[in-house]
Amino acid sequence: MSKSFDVVVIGGGPGGYIAAIRAAQLGMSVACIDEWKNEKGGPAPGGTCTNVGCIPSKALLQSSEHFEHASHGMAEHGVDIKGVKLNLAQMMGRKDSVVKQNNDGILYLFKKNKVSFFHGRGSFVSADAQGYQIAVSGASAETLTAKHVVIATGSIPRELPGAPFDEKQILSNTGALAIDAVPKRLGVIGAGVIGLEMGSVWRRLGSEVTILEAMPVFLGAVDETVAKEAHKLFLKQGLAIEMGVKIGAIKNGKEVSVEYVDTQGKEHKALFDKLIISIGRIPNTIGLSPEAVGLKLDERGFIAVDDQCRATLPNVWAVGDVVRGPMLAHKAEEEGVAVAERIAGQHGHVNFGTIPWVIYTSPEIAWVGRTEQQLKADGVAYKSGSFPFLANGRARALGDTSGLVKFLADAKTDEILGVHIVGPMASELISEAVVAMEFRASAEDIARICHAHPTLSEATKEAALAVDKRALNF
């Protein structure tokens, strides 16, 4: 049976499912194909983000933070809790049910928006005057015809040569989110976003965590003031982070042994009960058969697209992790919306200069715009102002005064060029900076806006005031 659609979206992660819903809202007939399976073999749309990424990791970060607070953080508030015990099975079960709620929510949204969902793998077969033929193999076996195709097939974890993931002892993000007993010694290779988030989860739950990182500089893409502060705080929490190492042989036996050489050239052999490898992700085009229609990939395996997400064939688009740019769920979603609107003849737009980043450790790290080191490298004249949470009344009341807010503004025009936060609720605080930058606001604009007292957001206002050297509370 052949079914024809205005738009067929391949991949039901944040890029794909959002593109499908927006295209349906705009009056097009839409199908979305996704192959992710739940433990019963049924559909589990939402992609990496929902199943083994953003959502389960944030569920475990939240639960493990509660555990740590209940164990160590409540006495100063006058709340004495004795005999705190970890129920890991319950914690994992809650995480799984949060994931399922999101899977079900997406299936409901498809129904509500009349998006036809196909559970299986989508592969290009051919192209003709009618459009593109896409075979679905899996639970639904059909061939669909599409006037427009949106590829949103996402990414997969990068393996280290010689250390394949078995998801029992050598873990990708998938295994790292499903460990059934707290490992005594947990190794992590890569002090990036996953390494720090998952390392934090398991440290809070009782593992001795050692993170081995190749680069000599901690979080090189983060503003250096914030990265230095975060590094100091993570070490204080008990994460052992070794920078500038060269990983050698990894052996997976009764335990996992990792040989590495440190910055002084000294050789080490570390033994771990589990090893998470989080050294970045690669685009996923497995089974897509782009060659069947002559679709081009770039030299790194991403679907080649222009700045509008147009691929190298007419009416073929690609969004999210499978194309250039940051691998973030909200970036994928913005591209998905923009592509659906472009297909409908509208002017979809994504501002790559104002995509926020958040690392959900404690304290959280969040930023938007350029870092101080980037401004220096670009030769931009800038002013900076920062404000520590130590001087913020709400942070003191919370009992969480670590970190700071830092503003970078153009030296002449005062336009905000970057905002960098390490501290409590940085993930929420950064939105104000994103809005300000989207409207090309100046630091003075933020400094003159009334912020409720006592809130953490007053630290944002004070950092903006500090750009003009007139912070009031510090």
What does 30 bind: ligand NAI, ligand FAD, none (CB cut-off 5 to 8 Å by kind)? Answer: none
What does 238 bind: ligand NAI, ligand FAD, none (CB cut-off 5 to 8 Å by kind)? Answer: none
Which of 5, 7, 9, 11 forms a contact with ligand FAD (CB under 6 A)? Answer: 11
Catalytic site includes residue 347? no
Q: Which parts of this chain interact with ligand NAI (CB under 6 A)?
A: 160, 189-195, 197, 212-215, 247, 278-281, 326-328, 358-360
Q: Which of 77, 268, 349, 453 is catalytic?
A: 453
Here the tokens at position 67 are 């555990």
Distance in Å, CB of 336 to ligand NAI, minimum: 16
How many CA atoms lie within 13 Å of 204's alpha carbon, on the beta-carbon side?
Answer: 24
What does 200 bind: ligand FAD, ligand NAI, none (CB cut-off 5 to 8 Å by kind)? Answer: none
Stated length of the chain: 474
How far lies 420's CA from each of 352, 381, 397, 426, in Å? 17, 18, 23, 9
Residues 216-255, mask of contacts with ligand FAD (x by CB under 6 A):
----------------------------------------
Comparing C-alpha atoms, which of 397, 400, 418, 411 is closest to residue 463?
418
Looking at beta carbons only, is 115 or 327 nearer to ligand NAI?
327
Distance in Å, CB of 101 to ligand FAD, minimum: 17
Residues 169-208, mask of contacts with ligand FAD (x by CB under 6 A):
----x--------------------x--------------
Return d(Cα 359, Cα 357) in angstroms, integer: 7
What's the DSSP call for residue 159? P
> What are the backbone dihedrals phi and psi of residue 22, each rounded to the nearest 5 degrees, phi first?
-65, -40
Query: Is 401 within 8 Å of 395 (Cβ atoms)?
Result: yes
What does 297 bind: ligand FAD, ligand NAI, none (CB cut-off 5 to 8 Å by kind)? Answer: none
Return d(Cα 304, Cα 323) in angstroms, integer: 7
What does 91 bind: ligand NAI, ligand FAD, none (CB cut-off 5 to 8 Å by kind)? Answer: none
- 35 lies in the binding site for ligand FAD (CB under 6 A): yes
How far lies 5's CA from each of 9, 204, 343, 414, in Å? 10, 49, 13, 49
Query: Is 12 within 8 Å of 46 (Cβ atoms)?
Result: yes
Residues 6 or more apart whose Cβ sits within 8 Å of residue 49: 13, 14, 55, 329, 332
Which of 7, 16, 392, 437 forms a contact with ligand FAD (CB under 6 A)? Answer: 16
Contact positions toward ligand FAD, by CB under 6 A? Answer: 10-16, 33-36, 47-49, 53-54, 57, 121-122, 152-155, 173, 194, 284, 287-288, 320-322, 327-330, 332, 360
Q: Which residues are catalytic?
A: 453
